[in-house]
Amino acid sequence: MYRKLEEKDRDAITDAIQEDPFHCDNPNFTSDFFYDPNSQSLVFHDEEGDVCYLKVEKEARIHIQFKEVDKDRIRNLLNQHTDQMARALKSQGYKAMTFNSPNPALVWFMRKFGFRTAKDEFRKVL
């Protein structure tokens, strides 16, 4: 069972974070993290009480198919529009942009826009 997170849950989340060896030393992982207005947070519980707190964020998964054109056209297009698209998505409440590619040159190039290889992230396709 679950319910929407409420302000009354703040102290319990703080206690859970302080007791968790994987999160207690992370200054960015506080109860405030769960009260972000651009996300949805839930409290999962059973008959004995609360079990965990879950935050769901909006993330944009980007898929790109380039035409067989001069690589300078591609670089120019990405230089002109990647940051603009990121700002537009952020203004709509998105927290991240993700893409995957087997093309090492594209992966390297996209680093200039802040893309980084993800560590400790796991994905389930819905």
User: How many distinct helices (H) and strands (E) make up the chain?
Assistant: 3, 4
Residue 100's pLDDT is what? 87
Per-residue pLDDT of the chain (126 residues; tens, 9 = 90+): 999 999 999 999 999 999 999 999 999 999 999 999 889 999 999 999 999 999 999 999 998 889 999 999 999 999 999 999 999 999 999 999 998 888 999 999 999 999 998 888 887 777
C-beta atoms surrounding 53 within 10 Å? 19
